[in-house]
């Protein structure tokens, strides 16, 4: 019997119980399948270990002791503590951050802000030309085309700005992850 078939039969048999209880029971059984599969068992083996879904549902309904296989194993072992960083690792992380990352971060931030602000200025110039092109006398067409060109340039610049900001943020996240990994795992 597959996991889906087992869970379907168990759901049918648990039908008279409350929704939350059925949901919790099914979650426990799904966890049991997941653990069993990761241990190399097949779905059929796990279903056989659990026994008949009808009998299991009756045990749940009656509040009887569940089969030993469903008892949660408590692990008293603590996660191994990450080793303390060595002085070489600390020096590397501090020096690379102070002398490379921070100056690069602020330089790139200045470039990105300059791009964004210049695009705002270009867009405003284009809007101003479009708003007042009719006052240019014989150069109305030039004013109109100039305004449209500036607006198009601003739209193109905004697309570039989007990618500049996106990759700036991604690069910053990558750097932070790199330093964390280096700090915890060493060089």
Each residue's pLDDT tens digit, 45-61:
888 888 888 888 888 77
Q: Distance between CA atoms of 58 and 110, rounded to whole angstroms?
A: 68
- From 24-28, 61-65, 72-76, 155-159, the region with the lowest mean pLDDT: 72-76
Of 31, 28, 26, 1, give the one whose Cα is nearest residue 13. 26
pLDDT band at 64 (very low <50, low <70, confident <90, very high): low
pLDDT band at 85 (very low <50, low <70, confident <90, very high): confident
- The pTM of this model reads 0.45
Q: What is the torsional sign of CA 171, 177, 180, 185?
A: negative
Length of the chain: 187
* Mean pLDDT of the region 176-180: 87
Average pLDDT score over the chain: 82
Q: Distance between CA atoms of 166 and 9, rounded to whole angstroms?
A: 49
Q: Which helix (H) or strand (E) holds 66?
A: none
Each residue's pLDDT tens digit, 97-137:
899 888 988 998 898 888 888 889 998 988 888 888 778 88
- CA 9 to each of CA 16, 29, 67, 88, 115: distance values in angstroms, whole numbers, following the listed order: 13, 12, 18, 59, 62
The two tokens of residue 157 are: 């610049």
pLDDT for the residue 55? 84
Q: Distance between CA atoms of 71 and 75, rounded to whole angstroms?
A: 12
pLDDT at 73 over 80: no
Count other Cβ atoms within 10 Å, centred on residue 105: 15
Q: Distance between CA atoms of 39 and 22, rounded to whole angstroms?
A: 26
pLDDT for the residue 111? 86
pLDDT band at 81 (very low <50, low <70, confident <90, very high): low
pLDDT band at 143 (very low <50, low <70, confident <90, very high): confident
């Amino acid at each position: 019997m597959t996991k889906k078939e087992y869970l379907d039969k168990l759901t049918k048999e648990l039908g008279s119980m409350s929704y939350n209880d059925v949901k919790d029971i099914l979650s426990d059984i799904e966890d049991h399948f997941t653990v069993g599969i990761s241990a190399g068992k097949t779905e059929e083996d796990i279903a056989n270990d659990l026994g008949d879904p009808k009998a299991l549902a009756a045990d749940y309904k009656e509040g009887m002791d569940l089969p030993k296989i469903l008892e949660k194993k408590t692990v008293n072992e603590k996660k191994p503590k990450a080793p303390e960083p060595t002085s070489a690792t600390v020096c590397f992380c501090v020096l690379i951050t102070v002398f490379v990352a921070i100056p690069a971060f602020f330089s790139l931030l200045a470039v990105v802000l300059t791009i964004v602000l210049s695009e705002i200025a270009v867009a405003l110039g284009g809007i101003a030309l479009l708003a007042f092109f009719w006052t240019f006398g014989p150069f109305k067409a030039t004013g109109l085309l100039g305004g449209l060109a500036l607006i198009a340039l601003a739209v193109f610049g905004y697309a570039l700005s989007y990618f500049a900001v996106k990759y700036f943020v991604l690069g910053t996240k990558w750097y932070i992850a790199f330093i964390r990994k280096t700090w915890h795992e060493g060089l």
